[in-house]
Structure 1
Amino acid sequence: MDDGVAIRVIPEGADLLRIHDAFPERYPHLLEGRGGEGWGCDILFAEPEDPVILRADATPADCARFFTILDDCTGLAAGSAVPDETLPFYYGHFLFLSYELVTAWESRLASLPLPADVPLAWLQGFSGAVLRERYAGRAIITGRDASVVARIAADLKHLPATRPWSPIALEHLNEDPPEDYERGVRDIQARITHGEIFQANLSRRYSGRIRAGTPAGALLEGLRGHNPAPFSAMARLGDTLIASASPERLLRRWRSQVTTQPIAGTCARGPGALADESARRGLRTDPKERAEHLMLVDLERNDLGRVCVPGSVRVPEFMRIESFATVHHLVSDVEGTLRGDIRPSHLIRALFPGGSITGCPKIHCMGILARNERRARGAYTGSLGYINERGDIDLNILIRTLVVRGPEIEFRVGAGIVADSDPKRELLETQAKAAGLVRALGITGHC
C-alpha cells in the first residue's frame, strides 16, 4: 500500500523502551500494557509534529482553540482503508491532560491551584508508530505512508548495543505527614455527615530527588518489574518526564462504542497464598468497599449518559477483582453507544477527570479536595493516551505515576473516603498503593 497507510512486520520483535531511550526526540512517548491487557499492544509514537500545548496561563480563547484542533485531528481521507483493523494505531495523535484541565470549562473550579511542572494539556501528531504484540512476539512498524515506515525501519537498524539500565539513584524520599492525611479524612467525613458530598478520593504526596544522569528508561523498567500494569506509559513533555504504571482506563472509544472502567475498592495483598485469597474474598464482600464502588459506577453511568444514545448505557461486568503487585482492586465496565454528534472534546468534558479519583458529586468534591491537598495535582489523576487515524480514542487515568523534572521526582496516591471510613485504614491503603512505586525507585521498607 505505497499510496496510503503502510505497515512492515518485524518478526523478531523490538525493545520499544530502548528505541525511546536511543532517540527520545523522534520517539518521545510510549504506551505499554501488561501481557495482552490494556492498550491492546505496546505503542511507540514516531515521526512527531510540533505539539499543541495548553499552558496554565491559557485564556478562554486559547482553550477554545485547543479543543477545536482536538476535534479536527481525526479521520482518514474519504475512501481510505487500513491493512489490519485490529491494530489500534497507524498514525494520529498523542494526548496528555492534566487534572486541572477541567478549569478550562468548569467555572466553579476557577480557584483550583494550577500545575507548574506540566501543561494543562498537550496534543501532538505523529505520522507513524512502532507496535509490539507481546502475545505474538513481533513488532510492526506503521505509518501514514511507506516513506514513513522506511524512515522508522532505518532508525531501528542503528540502535546502540543493549546494555543493563543504570540503577535509579534516589537521594531521598519524603511523604506528606500522616497526621495531615488523617485530618483530611475526618474533614471529608464531616462534610459527608452534613450532606455536602457522598464520597471523595483524597490523595497525599511523596517527593524526592534523583541523582543527575539517572536514565529515564530505568524508571519505566523499575515500574515494569515492581508494579506492572495494563495502562503503563512513558511521556516526555518538554522538561518533564512522566513514567506511569496505571491500572485504570478513563475511556475507550472504538467506532460508536465507548467504555469506561472505574476502579473503586482496594485492599493490600496478603503475605501468602491463603492470606491473599482471604484478602480477595474480604474485598468482594466488604460493605464499605461495595457501597463506594456502586456509587462510583452510578456516577460513570450518569457521565456516559451525557454523550450516549438514551437507553444504551449498561454495565456488562460488575465488580470483578483485578490483582496487581501490591493490591487487589474492584473494577467494573460501563459502556454505551455514542450519539452521532459527539466529538473528542465532548467525551472529555463528560468523563474527565474520572469519578473514581474525584468523588461524588464530582465538581463539589474537587473543590474540597483542593482545600485539603493544598497544591495542584498536575499529572496525577490526569490522563494520557492516543487518538488514532480513525478517530478511536484510548485514555488511561494517571495513577501510580512518577513525575520527574530535573532532579525532582514526585508521585501521589489516594483513597476513597466515605462516611464510615477509618482514617488509619485509609492511610494504610495509600501506603499499599505507594509500595510498588517505592520499590521501583530502589527503596525497601519505606511503606
Structure 2
Amino acid sequence: MSIVTPKYRAFRGSILHFLADPGESENEQAYAYFADGLMLVKDGLVDAVGDYVALASDLPANTVITDYSGKLIMPGFIDTHIHFPQTDIIAAPGTQLLDWLERYTFPAESRFDNEAHATEVAEFFLDELLRNGTTTALVFGSVHRASIDAFFTVAEQRKLRMVAGKVLMDRHSPEYLRDTPDTGFADSAALIERWHGLGRLGYAITPRFAITSSDQQLARAGELALAYPQVHIHSHLAENHDEVAWVARLFPWSRSYLDVYDHFGLLREGAVYAHCIHLDEEDRKRMVDSGATAAFCPTSNLFLGSGLFDLAGARDASMRVGIATDVGGGTSFSLLQTLGASYNVAQLRGYTLSPLLAFYMITLGNARSLGLDQHIGNFAVGKEADFVVLDPDATPLLARRMQSATSLAERLFLWMIMGDDRAISATYVLGNLAHSSTETIQHA
C-alpha cells in the first residue's frame, strides 16, 4: 500500500481575516490580524494560521515558505453579482438601464449561442477576476445553455468556486434571445444536474428580471426552486425608476416589485437580488424574513444613474447585503475600486463605510451572503485556501501615502480608495498560485 504524503505549503506576511461583522465601531474581536503571520496550507485547505514566530518552529519537515513579508495576505475577494457575457461592453457609453440593455447588452449576448465564443470570453473573464483578487463570484450567463456549459467547463478546469446560471427570458427582449417557459425549465434542470456540486461549482436559477419573464416562466422558475432547494436564485430588483414603474404595469396585482418574485416562490435563503435601491420598509422586512440577499452594485448604479443604495438603512433593517461589481454595467472588475465607490455612495447618503467593515463585506460577509461561508471567506482551519496578496507599494502614490498610515484601518482605507488591480500582487486558489503580478501563470 502506498502512503500519500500531504502537500504542505506555508505563506509568510501580514495576515488579516474576519471572524464576524466588525460593525461601524470596528470591533477588534471581529477579526484576527498578525503583523508577521504564517499560514500553513495542506492539500488546498487552511491547516493553521497565526504569528510566524509561534508557528515556524513546528512546520513539517521540508516545508517551503513563500515569503510575502511587507504585504498583506487576505481571503480571496467574493463578487455577489456580475455578468460574464457583458465583459466586452464594459464602459459602453452611458444611457440609463432600459436603453442600455437594448443598445449594448442584448446584441453582445446574442453571440453566446456559440460555445467557442463563450469559452474564449469565459477564459478572459476568469483571468480578469483573478487579476483583481476575486476568487469566487455569482455569475449571470446569457439565455443560451452553451454559455453556461462553457463557463462551468473553464471554471472547473481551474478548480474555482463559482456559482452561475443560464438566463430565463421569454418576453420584452429580442426574439433571438428568448427561450420559453418550458425550454428554460428543461435547460436549467439539465444544467443543474450536470454542474451543480461538481467540484466547487454551484448553480443559480436566473430569471433576468421580472420584466423579461412572463407569469408562466416565473411560475416555472418557482417550480425549479422548489425542486432544487439547494441551488441559488439570482436576478435583479428595483434598480431604476422606469423599471419599477414597468413592473407595476405588468403585474398590477402586486404590492411591489419584490412581491412579484415572492408570489412565484423565488424569495428564500440562497436568493440574491442585485441593486434593491428602490425598496420600502415592508420590502426590507420581507427580504430579512426570507433570508434573501441584496447585492449592492455602486459603480453600476452611478454609471447608469439608477440611484444610491441605502446601505445604512439596509444594515439597520438587518438585511443581508453583498458588494458586487455588476460588470458590464459596473465599470471595474476590481472589488477594491468597487469599495471606493461604495464609500462614496454611502457618503452621499450620510453614512460612513468603515474600511474594516468594507473588507469584511468582500470576504466573509459576501461568503455569508451567498451561503458559502462553510467553505470560504476566512482562514478558519479546514476552509479552502483561496487568498490574495495586497501590495502597499503597488503605485508610487500609494507607496508614498502608506508611509504615513499609522493603523491597519488606515492602510485598508488607502487600498479601498486608491487601490485597483495593480494592488493585487498574487491570487491563490486552493493554495496554488493562480495570478501573479510578476509571473505568467499557465492554466491547464
- TM-score of Structure 1 vs Structure 2, range by shorter chain: under 0.3
**TM-score using structure 1 length:** 0.24
**TM-score using structure 2 length:** 0.24
* Greater relative contact order structure (CA < 8 Å, 6+ sep): 1
Q: Judging by fraction of residues, say which structure has more helix.
A: 2
Q: Judging by fraction of residues, say which structure has more strand.
A: 1
